[in-house]
């Protein structure tokens, strides 16, 4: 990062909130477990076994599962020292933006629901790749654009109506199309990004805000409005949320990133023009030139 103009998040505030969340995140355990399960399922897609693992932001769910899958050495790093201590691996309080590891330290890095609070995500991904051995695997989940969208829109509308302007009250999230591009920019091979929605429902919309607070996922945007909000802000916004038969809906749009650190034995794309078979033959159709009409 070259200056404060690149800063989006208040990392000091985030650390304090993650500290406090150690005592409250059990209230949202089903959501955290669902996200962790989807992330760890990706390990079942490979026959590789990983011995030296770095897990970031695991909240006590990732390290035990990695050990159960045969990992011999697991470092649990978190911005919060309290989260790291309770994560289940060798604890390390560390910052994703300034990784304290030598090159080639790990053959697997797993980051669970934490990288969406990083100011310099391309830089953090590049540091992660540097910390990996050749042909090491990187897995990450983070909320994507569309997560909490009705809440974002309702708060913006209420803010505008009550104050004549709106400050950010929900964190910005990356888009799907950014995922693979970010991995490629950081130097990962075979980058893959995909989305999966985790649908939630609340009988009382206030419980949604309490869940975000319990998870340490409150607003940590530097540009947030530090003033005491108008008394009517949250009642106005929450009353505008669309309700269904099961209550107020909320979506965690889970973006999963998969990439490999470059290695000499990885498959490489063939040279253009090197094919020895025609695609039309494989598909059982007739090959035509561009602009040529059938018949």
Q: For residue 158, give every residue at least 6 positions away whose Cβ sits within 8 Å of its Cβ, in sequence order, or none.
A: 232, 233, 234, 236, 237, 240
Examine the pLDDT at 291 and tell me if it is beyond 70: no
Q: Are 23 and 112 in contact, with CB atoms under 8 Å apart?
A: no
Determine the average pLDDT of the residues in 99-127: 96
Question: What global pTM score does this model have?
Answer: 0.87
Q: How many whole angstroms separate alpha carbon 249 and alpha carbon 199?
A: 7
The pLDDT tens digits for 247-264 are 999 999 999 999 999 988
Q: What is the DSSP letter of 175?
A: -
Examine the pLDDT at 274 and tell me if it is beyond 70: no
pLDDT at 258: 96
Q: What share of the chain is helix, strand, coil (3-state, %, to 5)?
A: 35, 25, 40
Determine the average pLDDT of the residues in 161-181: 90
Q: What percent of the chain has pLDDT over 70?
A: 89
Domains of the chain: 4-262 (3.40.50.150)
Determine the average pLDDT of the residues in 185-190: 95
Examine the pLDDT at 189 and tell me if it is beyond 50: yes
Residue that has been written with the tokens 């050495």 in this structure: 73
| Of residues 149, 154, 205, 206, the one with CA closest to residue 175 | 149
The pLDDT tens digits for 24-75 are 999 999 999 999 999 999 998 888 899 999 999 999 999 999 999 999 999 9
Q: Are 216 and 156 in contact, with CB atoms under 8 Å apart?
A: no
């Amino acid at each position: 990062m070259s200056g404060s103009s690149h800063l989006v998040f208040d990392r000091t505030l985030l650390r304090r909130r993650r500290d406090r969340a150690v005592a409250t995140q059990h209230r949202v355990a089903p959501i955290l477990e669902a996200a962790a399960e989807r992330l760890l399922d990706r390990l079942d897609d490979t026959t590789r076994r990983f011995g030296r693992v770095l897990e970031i932001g695991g909240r006590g769910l990732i390290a035990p599962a990695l050990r159960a899958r045969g990992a011999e050495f697991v470092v649990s790093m978190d911005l919060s020292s309290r989260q790291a201590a309770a994560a289940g691996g060798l604890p390390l309080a560390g910052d994703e933006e300034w990784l304290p590891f030598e090159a080639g330290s790990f053959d697997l890095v797993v980051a669970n629901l934490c990288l969406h609070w990083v100011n310099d995500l391309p830089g953090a991904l590049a540091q992660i790749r540097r910390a990996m051995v050749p042909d090491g695997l990187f897995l990450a989940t983070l909320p994507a654009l569309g997560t909490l969208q009705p809440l974002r829109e309702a708060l913006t509308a209420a803010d505008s109506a009550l104050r004549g302007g709106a400050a950010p009250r929900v964190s910005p999230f990356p888009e799907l199309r950014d995922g693979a591009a970010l991995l490629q920019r950081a130097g990962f091979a075979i980058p893959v990004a995909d989305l999966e929605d985790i649908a939630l429902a609340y009988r009382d919309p206030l419980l949604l805000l309490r869940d975000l607070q319990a998870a340490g996922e409150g607003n940590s945007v530097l540009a947030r409005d530090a003033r005491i909000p108008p008394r009517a802000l949250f009642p106005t916004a929450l009353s505008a949320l669309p309700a269904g038969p099961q209550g107020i809906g909320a979506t965690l749009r889970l973006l999963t990133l998969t990439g490999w650190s470059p290695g000499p034995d990885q498959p490489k794309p063939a040279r253009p023009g090197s094919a020895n078979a025609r695609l039309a033959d494989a598909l059982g159709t007739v090959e035509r030139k561009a602009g040529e009409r059938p018949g």
